[in-house]
Chain A
Amino acid sequence: MYRGKKICEVLKAVRLHIAQANDIRYVPQVCTHEGECRGTCPACETEVHYLEHQLDMRQALGKAVVIAGIGAALFPSVAQAQTPDTLVQKKQQVTSDTLAGKKSQISDDDILFGLVEENAQFPGGDTACKLWIQKHMRYPREARKKGIEGRVIVKFVVQKNGSVGEVEIHRSPNALLDAEALRLVKSMPKWKPARQGAKCVESKFLLPVEFKLH
């Protein structure tokens, strides 16, 4: 069943709620993924990881973080699945912890981590990126022997000239997959750099590299 961008739009709304409740600057990008988007394209994944990173930073700074139930209002209530007390508790949590909205300037950090008018893009887009990874992947022998699969999130910077640098592992289910994930990203062709208006800017990117044996 072709559901177009419906799922993507709902998930984007959830992300927006989370960002607004935690005073995180977040400007959702228009999804340019071709075909049905189930919220799992690299652009959507990058936005999730950006929010997670921002929430981690807030917690590390001792600030309140509000996540539980933030997006629940977007969904028709499964009244049988939640007791009224639970719902009230979550609403109260939002009210007491929400910070007064402040208009903030776009900082260098913001530009560096996804808050640009136009995201950096692999040549040919997200589908081309996935296909390139599949074509060039050399599945780690040890991981294959042990049946290890998973998604490695690689963090890197796309420079103003499109070259990829500062490549590191952001999150990984198994260390046996790391070296190959890093090698793949480091060997990528130049990206289309991020833009702020007419200006090419440096930007950070979080890319999921999927390891699947089947």
Chain B
Amino acid sequence: MLKAPIIGIERHRLTTDGQGVTTLVAFHGCPLHCRYCLNPQCLVPEGVKRRISTKQLLDEVAVDDLYFQATGGGICFGGGEPLLHTQFIAEFCRSCPPSWHIYLETSLSTKLDAVQEILPHIHHFYIDIKDLNPVTYQAYTSRTIAPLRCNLQWLAQNADTDHVTLRLPHITGFNTPDDVSRSRAELAKMGFSHFDELTYLV
């Protein structure tokens, strides 16, 4: 049975990670190094809180089954970067009740085959775009934007974009409202229609 490193499990999140009541399962590890990372413990070895199997996770989160069913909620995988643990997520999804909705909070900055593997299991994607300007993206995340662009194109062509929300942050010192508008327009042209603009607290 697969095991994955996690930095935490948080119960009873209300609509922040999906419809209804959700439990957030946050993985350790991320390909990005964002300047204002909310969970920097996912980047250091000592940040691993536990290594958990899919069965252990299922046993633990099942305590809220009644709320998941009653509210259309379920599990949100985040982190860190959940796309680094697609086999684990897929195994979990095959064993959890089919009535649970599975949400994914991701930077989408991984290999395409990770996105392809996970797509059938995900009810809704929440993708943190940062900014589509490649210079801004590199400055903020310390990584190239190429994987994100590639995966967005693939997702636009192969997923139901009604089940994709793109998060466009206003990041002080990195982008302006005009930059955010430009990113949004470009993403709309790709075929996406659900956006969530927010301001990063720095």
- Docked complex Cα distance between A80 and B18 (Å): 10
State whether the Cβ of A120 lies closer than 8 Å to any Cβ in chain B. Answer: no
Interface SS, A side: loop
Set of chain B residues within 8 Å of A48, measured between Cβ atoms:
63, 66-67
B70 and A18 form a contact (CB under 8 A) = yes
> Are the CB atoms of A81 and B56 closer together than 8 Å?
no
Residues of B within 8 A of A (CB): 11-12, 14-15, 18-21, 49-50, 56, 59-60, 63, 66-67, 69-72, 99, 101, 103, 123-124, 162-165, 194
Whole-angstrom distance between the Cβ of A196 and the nearest chain B Cβ: 26
**Interface bracket on A:** 35 or more
Complex Cα gap A71–B20 (Å): 8
- Whole-angstrom distance between the alpha carbons of A82 and B14 in the complex? 16
Q: Which of A61-83 contact B (CB under 8 A)?
A: 67-72, 74-78, 80-83
Residue A186 at the chain B interface, CB threshold 8 Å:
no
Cross-chain contact B67 with A81 (CB below 8 angstroms): no
Closest to B3 in A: A147
With both chains docked as a complex, state the minimum distance between the C-beta of B156 and any C-beta of chain A, in angstroms.
15
Q: Would you call A72 and B194 a contact (CB within 8 A)?
A: no
- B7 to chain A minimum Cβ distance, whole angstroms, is 12
Of the candidates A38, A71, A150, which one forms a contact with B67 in the assembled complex, judged by CB atoms under 8 Å apart?
A71
> Which B-chain residue is minimally distant from A173 (CB atoms)?
B59
**What's the Cα separation between A18 and B20 when bound, in Å?**
14
Whether the pair A83, B162 counts as a contact (CB closer than 8 A) is yes
For A11, list chain B residues within 8 Å (CB).
Answer: 12, 21, 67
